[in-house]
Amino acid sequence: MSRTKTPISDEAFIAGLKSGDSLILVALYKKYYNIVLKLVVGNSGTQESAEDIYQETIIVLYEAVQKPNFVLSCQLQTFIYSIAKRLWLKQLRKFGQVSLMREEEEEQLADVQTEMQEHLQKEADLERMNQSLTTLGEPCATLLNDFYVLKLSMETISEKFGYTNADTAKNQKYKCLQRLKKQFFETNSVEA
């Protein structure tokens, strides 16, 4: 069967992103890169910054569509452009550059305030988690990752770390988790 040439609709992109369809992700990624590239490079950025901003944009979109109540209230292109613009403005401001961004002709912007706020909050949480894990050090960071992310069994973890048995590993995991909890909840958010 030959592939159809019909362009993928916004709805199909959203559905594919939701379900984690990697072909859709690739198609989406290719389709909108140039818009963001133009935006960033046209406003004092480089190709590298454009790439990074674009990837963060896709992450924001990805996070947004995972929410059960997500509805795309404008064109996908407008949504992506608006997110990218907000992210790039934020970056420029961080360097103390007053925003000198040009307004494009017939530029359409969507209201992406909610998505941006949630994204920044999430980024801040993840950053705090990173810092907590760094402070925690080894073997705790790897042990917790093995258990909660890779879902390894206590027996496997026990062998891997050379503990006498699964109970020792479990005890160790408990101690590590308590420390992580303390770190994570008692460190104030570093940046918003």
Partner 1 sequence: MRSVDLFDGYLQGTLSTEEHKQFELRLKTDLVFEQAFEQHKTLVETLQNRAKQEVFKAQLKAIHTEAFGNDARVISIKQEGFFQRFGKTAFIAASTGLIAVITTVALLSAGGYLLKRQSNEITDLKREVVELKYSQNGIVSAFTSQPAPPRYAPANLEGSGFALNNNGFIITSWHTISDADSIFIENKFLERTLAKVMISDPKLDIAILKIETDTVYKNWNVPFAYATKPSDLGEKVFTLGFPRKEVVYGEGALSALSGHYNDTTMYQVSIPVNPGNSGGPVMNEQGNIIGMIRGKLSSAEGTSYAVKISDILNSINSSNTEGLNVNVSKKGLKNLKRVEQIKRINPYVFNIMVYKEN
Q: CA 73: distance to chain centroid? A: 21
Which range touches partner 1 (CB under 8 A), out of 5-13, 50-58, 73-81, 105-113? Answer: 50-58
Residue in 10, 15, 35, 44 binding partner 1, rule: CB under 8 A: 44
DSSP string, 73-107: -S-HHHHHHHHHHHHHHHHHHHTTPPP-PPPPTT-
Residue in 75, 117, 121, 134 binding partner 1, rule: CB under 8 A: 134
* Residue closer to partner 1 (CB basis): 67 or 111: 67
Helical axes 154-161 vs 166-186, angle rounded to 10°: 90
Residue in 111, 125, 155, 167 binding partner 1, rule: CB under 8 A: 125
* 70 lies in the binding site for partner 1 (CB under 8 A): no
d(CA 124, CA 128): 6
d(CA 41, CA 51): 10
Tokens matching residue 153 = 């069994």
* 55 lies in the binding site for partner 1 (CB under 8 A): yes
Which range touches partner 1 (CB under 8 A), out of 1-9, 78-86, 142-150, 159-167? Answer: 142-150
d(CA 46, CA 14): 29
* Residue closer to partner 1 (CB basis): 71 or 149: 149
Per-residue binding string, partner 1, 151-190, x by CB under 8 A, is x------------------x---x--x--xx--xx-----
